[in-house]
Amino acid sequence: MEVHKALKKYFGYDQFKKGQERLIKGTLNGKDVLGVMPTGGGKSLCYQLPAILMEGITIVISPLISLMKDQVDSLIEMGIPATYINSTLSQKELNIRLDNIKKYKYKIIYVAPERLNTYIFLNLARNIKISMVAIDEAHCISQWGHDFRPSYLEIPKFINSLDREPAVSAYTATATKVIVEEIKTLIGLKDPIVSVIGFDRPNLFYQVVKVNDRFKYLRDYLDNNFQGKPGIIYCSTRKTVESLTKRLIEKGISAIGYHGGMDADTRQKNQDNFIHNRVQVIVATNAFGLGIDKPDVRFVIHYNMPQNMEAYYQEAGRAGRDGQPSECILFYSPGDIVKQKLLIQKSTYSSKREKMLYENLQYLIDYCNTNDCLRNSILSYFGEEIQDNRCNNCGNCLSESEMVDITIEAQKILSCIYRVKERFGVTVVVQVLRGSRNKRILQSDLTKISTYGIMKEYKEDVLKEIIMTLISMDYIHMTADKYPVLKLTSLSGRVLKGEVKVYHKKDLLESKSKTKTRKVSADYIEINYNSDLFEKLRELRYELAREKNLAPFMIFHDSSLKEMATYFPQDKESFMNIKGIGLRKYESYGKRFIEIIRNYCEEKEIDTSNIEVIEKKDPIKDNDIDRYQLTYECYLEGLALQEIADKRGYTVSTIIRHLEKCIERGQMIDWSSFIDDSTKEERILKVIEEVGLQRLRLIKDMLPDDISYEDIRITIIKNRLNKGAVSK
Among positions 107, 210, 267, 321, the unique one binding ligand ADP when judged by CB under 6 A: 321
Min dist. Cβ of residue 386 to ligand ADP (A): 23
Name the one range near ligand ADP by CB under 6 A: 39-47, 278-286, 613-621, 700-708. Answer: 39-47
The residue count for binding Mg ion (CB under 5 A) is 1
Helices (H), 78-118: 91-102
- Residues 326 and 355 sit within 8 Å (Cβ to Cβ): no
Min dist. Cβ of residue 446 to ligand ADP (A): 56
Using the rule CB under 6 A, is 77 a contact of ligand ADP? no
Q: Is 162 exposed, middle or buried (0-12, 13-18, 19+ CB in 10 A)?
A: middle
For Mg ion, the binding residues in 43-72 under the rule CB under 5 A are: 43
Using the rule CB under 6 A, is 182 a contact of ligand ADP? no
CA distances from 427 to 431, 464, 504, 569 (A): 6, 8, 21, 68
Q: Using CA atoms, how far apart are residues 503 and 408, in angstroms rounded to an integer? A: 10
Amino acid identity for residue 272 in this structure = D
- Helix, strand, coil share (%) of the chain residues, nearest 5: 50, 10, 40
Instruction: Tell me the three state secondary structure of residue 717.
Output: helix
The residue count for binding ligand ADP (CB under 6 A) is 17
Min dist. Cβ of residue 464 to Zn ion (A): 31
Min dist. Cβ of residue 22 to ligand ADP (A): 13
**For residues 47 and 671, which CB has a smaller minimum distance to ligand ADP in the complex?**
47
**For residues 25 and 697, which CB has a smaller minimum distance to Zn ion in the complex?**
697
Name the one range near Mg ion by CB under 5 A: 38-46, 91-99, 257-265, 448-456. Answer: 38-46
Min dist. Cβ of residue 520 to ligand ADP (A): 19
Using the rule CB under 6 A, is 566 a contact of ligand ADP? no
The helix (H) or strand (E) run that includes residue 283 is strand 281-284
Q: Using CA atoms, how far apart are residues 172 and 186, in angstroms rounded to an integer? A: 14
Amino acid identity for residue 93 in this structure = E
**For residues 143 and 399, which CB has a smaller minimum distance to Zn ion in the complex?**
399
Instruction: Tell me the three state secondary structure of residue 635.
Output: helix
**For residues 16 and 234, which CB has a smaller minimum distance to ligand ADP in the complex?**
16
**For residues 394 and 426, which CB has a smaller minimum distance to Zn ion in the complex?**
394
Among positions 19, 26, 41, 590, the unique one binding ligand ADP when judged by CB under 6 A: 41
- Residues 415 and 496 sit within 8 Å (Cβ to Cβ): yes
**For residues 43 and 294, which CB has a smaller minimum distance to Mg ion in the complex?**
43
Q: Which one of Mg ion, Zn ion, ligand ADP, none is in contact with 397 (Cβ closer than 5 to 8 A by kind)?
A: Zn ion
Q: Using CA atoms, how far apart are residues 471 and 399, in angstroms rounded to an integer? A: 26
Q: Which one of ligand ADP, Zn ion, Mg ion, none is in contact with 386 (Cβ closer than 5 to 8 A by kind)?
A: none
Min dist. Cβ of residue 138 to ligand ADP (A): 11
Q: Using CA atoms, how far apart are residues 107 and 477, in angstroms rounded to an integer? A: 56
Beta-carbon contacts of 676 under 8 Å, excluding residues fewer than 6 positions away, are none
Among positions 32, 200, 310, 322, the unique one binding ligand ADP when judged by CB under 6 A: 322
**For residues 290 and 337, which CB has a smaller minimum distance to Mg ion in the complex?**
290
Name the one range near ligand ADP by CB under 6 A: 10-18, 122-130, 399-407, 466-474. Answer: 10-18
Among positions 19, 40, 192, 334, the unique one binding ligand ADP when judged by CB under 6 A: 40
Q: Using CA atoms, how far apart are residues 554 and 548, in angstroms rounded to an integer? A: 10
User: What is the 8-class DSSP label of residue 59?
Assistant: E
Q: What angle do CA 524, 296, 213 make, to 5 degrees?
A: 95
**For residues 47 and 312, which CB has a smaller minimum distance to Zn ion in the complex?**
312
Q: Which one of Mg ion, ligand ADP, Zn ion, none is in contact with 16 (Cβ closer than 5 to 8 A by kind)?
A: ligand ADP
Nearest CA-CA partner of 359 in 302, 308, 286: 308
Write each residue from 385 to 404 as x if it is in contact with Zn ion (CB under 5 A), else as -, in one continuous string: ------x--x--x-------
Min dist. Cβ of residue 136 to Mg ion (A): 6
Residue 281 has, within 13 A of its CA and on its CB side, a CA count of 30
Min dist. Cβ of residue 390 to Zn ion (A): 5
Among positions 9, 17, 69, 412, the unique one binding ligand ADP when judged by CB under 6 A: 17
Using the rule CB under 6 A, is 360 a contact of ligand ADP? no
Q: Is 668 exposed, middle or buried (0-12, 13-18, 19+ CB in 10 A)?
A: exposed
Q: Is 154 exposed, middle or buried (0-12, 13-18, 19+ CB in 10 A)?
A: middle
The residue count for binding Zn ion (CB under 5 A) is 5
Q: Which one of Mg ion, ligand ADP, Zn ion, none is in contact with 469 (Cβ closer than 5 to 8 A by kind)?
A: none
**For residues 583 and 596, which CB has a smaller minimum distance to ligand ADP in the complex?**
583
CA distances from 650 to 326, 657, 715 (A): 22, 11, 21
Q: Which one of Zn ion, Mg ion, ligand ADP, none is in contact with 375 (Cβ closer than 5 to 8 A by kind)?
A: Zn ion
Name the one range near ligand ADP by CB under 6 A: 14-22, 83-91, 458-466, 703-711. Answer: 14-22
Instruction: Tell me the three state secondary structure of residue 701.
Output: helix
For Zn ion, the binding residues in 343-382 under the rule CB under 5 A are: 373, 375
CA distances from 203 to 282, 400, 482, 534 (A): 21, 22, 45, 22
**For residues 290 and 712, which CB has a smaller minimum distance to ligand ADP in the complex?**
290
**For residues 80 and 373, which CB has a smaller minimum distance to Zn ion in the complex?**
373
Q: Which one of ligand ADP, Zn ion, Mg ion, none is in contact with 40 (Cβ closer than 5 to 8 A by kind)?
A: ligand ADP
**For residues 293 and 711, which CB has a smaller minimum distance to ligand ADP in the complex?**
293
Indicate the angle between helix axes 460-472 and 426-433, nearest 10 degrees.
130
Among positions 10, 36, 43, 332, the unique one binding ligand ADP when judged by CB under 6 A: 43
Q: Using CA atoms, how far apart are residues 253 and 255, in angstroms rounded to an integer? A: 6
Any bridge partners for residue 404, and if so which?
504
Would you state the torsion angle of the CA atoms of residues 552, 573, 598, 531, taken in this order, to the nearest 10 degrees?
50
The site for Zn ion (CB under 5 A) is made up of 373, 375, 391, 394, 397
The site for ligand ADP (CB under 6 A) is made up of 13, 15-17, 20, 37, 39-45, 293, 295, 321-322
The site for Mg ion (CB under 5 A) is made up of 43
